[in-house]
A and B are shown apart, each in its own frame.
Chain A
Amino acid sequence: MNMPTPRRTTLGVLGLLLAGAVGFAAAPPERKTIAVIPKGTTHVFWKSVEAGAKKAGEDLGVNIIWKGPMTENDRAQQVQLVQQFVSEKVDALVLAPLDHKALVQPVKAATAKNIPVIIFDSALEGQAPKDFASFVATDSEKAGALGGDHLKTLMGGKGDAIILRYLAGSASTDSREKGAITAITAITAGKAGKAIKMISDNRYGGATSAEAKTAALNMLDDIKKAGGVFCPNESTTLGMLLALRQAGLAGKIKFVGFDASPPLVEALKKGEIDALVVQDPRGMGYKAVEAAVKVLRGEKVDARIDTGAVLVTKDNLAKPEIKALIE
Chain B
Amino acid sequence: MTAPVAMNPTDRLSGLRRAKRVLAFVAPLLALAVVWLGMFAFAPGFGAWDNQRLILTQAAIVAAAAIGATIVIIAGGIDLSVGSAVALVTMFIALLLNRGAGPLVAVLGGIAAGGVVGLLIGGLVVGWVLPRLPLSPFIVTLALWGALRGVAKGIGGNQPIYVSESAGESNMGWLPWLMNGSDSGLLHEIVPAVWLVAACGLAVTLVLNRTILGRRAFAIGGNEHAARICGVPVPATKFMLYGLAGLCTGLAGVLQFSFVPQGDPTAAQGLELKVIAAVVIGGASLSGGAGSVLGTLAGILIMTIVDNGCTKLRLDNWVQEIVTGGIILIAVAVDRLRLRAQRAGTS
Which of the 9-residue segments A82-90, A265-273, A299-307 touches chain B?
Answer: A82-90
Within 8 A of A (CB), among B4-60: 23, 27, 30-31, 34-35, 38-39, 42-45, 48, 50-51, 54, 58
Residues of chain B contacted by A87 (CB below 8 angstroms): 48, 50-51, 54
Tell me if B38 and A102 are in contact (CB < 8 A): no
B241 → chain A closest CB, angstroms = 28
With A21-B42, A26-B314, A99-B262 in contact, is A7–B267 under 8 Å at CB? no
With A24-B313, A101-B162 in contact, is A17–B323 under 8 Å at CB? yes
Within 8 A of B (CB), among A53-73: 65, 67-68, 70-71, 73
Tell me if B311 and A7 are in contact (CB < 8 A): no
Residues of chain B contacted by A80 (CB below 8 angstroms): 58
Tell me if A17 and B326 are in contact (CB < 8 A): yes
Instruction: Give A40 to B264 CA distance when docked, in angstroms.
Output: 18
Tell me if B319 and A24 are in contact (CB < 8 A): yes
With A21-B310, A75-B267 in contact, is A14–B38 under 8 Å at CB? yes
**How many A-B pairs with Cβ below 8 Å?**
117
Instruction: Give A123 to B226 CA distance when docked, in angstroms.
Output: 60
A260 → chain B closest CB, angstroms = 26
With A73-B266, A75-B267, A102-B260 in contact, is A11–B34 under 8 Å at CB? yes
Question: Is A13 interfacial (CB 8 A cutoff)?
Answer: yes
With A21-B42, A102-B262 in contact, is A6–B337 under 8 Å at CB? yes
Question: Is A15 interfacial (CB 8 A cutoff)?
Answer: yes
With A11-B30, A14-B31, A102-B262 in contact, is A21–B313 under 8 Å at CB? yes
C-beta contact mask, A24-68 vs B, less than 8 Å → 1, else 0? 111010000000000001000000000000000000000001011
Tell me if A88 and B312 are in contact (CB < 8 A): yes
Number of interface residues of B (CB under 8 A): 60
Tell me if A84 and B262 are in contact (CB < 8 A): no
By size class, the interface of chain A is: 35 or more
Residues of chain A contacted by B23 (CB below 8 angstroms): 7
Residues of chain A contacted by B44 (CB below 8 angstroms): 28
Tell me if A7 and B264 are in contact (CB < 8 A): no
B60 → chain A closest CB, angstroms = 11
Q: Across the two chains, which residue of chain B brings its CB closest to A73? A: B266
Tell me if A14 and B266 are in contact (CB < 8 A): no
A18 partner, pick from B30, B35, B262, B333, beta carbons under 8 A: B35
A217 → chain B closest CB, angstroms = 23
Question: Is B109 interfacial (CB 8 A cutoff)?
Answer: no
A81 → chain B closest CB, angstroms = 7
With A1-B3, A9-B334 in contact, is A14–B341 under 8 Å at CB? no
Instruction: Give A41 to B260 CA distance when docked, in angstroms.
Output: 21
Within 8 A of A (CB), among B263-315: 264, 266-270, 307-315
Instruction: Give A251 to B176 CA distance when docked, in angstroms.
Output: 55
Question: Is A3 interfacial (CB 8 A cutoff)?
Answer: yes
Tell me if A4 and B319 are in contact (CB < 8 A): no
Question: Is B331 interfacial (CB 8 A cutoff)?
Answer: yes
A104 → chain B closest CB, angstroms = 10
Instruction: Give A4 to B48 CA distance when docked, in angstroms.
Output: 37
A124 → chain B closest CB, angstroms = 14
Tell me if B259 and A88 are in contact (CB < 8 A): no
Tell me if A84 and B264 are in contact (CB < 8 A): no
A79 → chain B closest CB, angstroms = 6
A169 partner, pick from B159, B264, B267, B334, beta carbons under 8 A: B159
Question: Is A74 interfacial (CB 8 A cutoff)?
Answer: yes
A-B contact pairs, 30 of them (CB 8 A): A3-B341, A7-B23, A7-B334, A9-B334, A9-B337, A11-B34, A13-B326, A13-B330, A14-B34, A14-B327, A15-B38, A17-B323, A17-B326, A17-B327, A18-B38, A24-B314, A24-B315, A25-B42, A41-B317, A67-B311, A68-B317, A70-B307, A71-B270, A75-B264, A76-B256, A79-B259, A88-B312, A99-B260, A102-B260, A102-B264
Interface residues of A (CB under 8 A from B): 1-4, 6-7, 9-11, 13-15, 17-18, 21-22, 24-26, 28, 41, 65, 67-68, 70-71, 73-76, 79-81, 83-84, 87-88, 99, 101-102, 105, 169
CB-CB nearest 8 A-B residue pairs: A18-B38, A6-B337, A22-B42, A26-B314, A87-B50, A102-B260, A25-B313, A10-B334
Q: A2-B2, A14-B31, A87-B54 are in contact. List 10 more A-B contacts (CB 8 A).
A: A4-B337, A6-B333, A7-B30, A10-B27, A17-B327, A18-B42, A21-B323, A74-B266, A84-B308, A102-B264
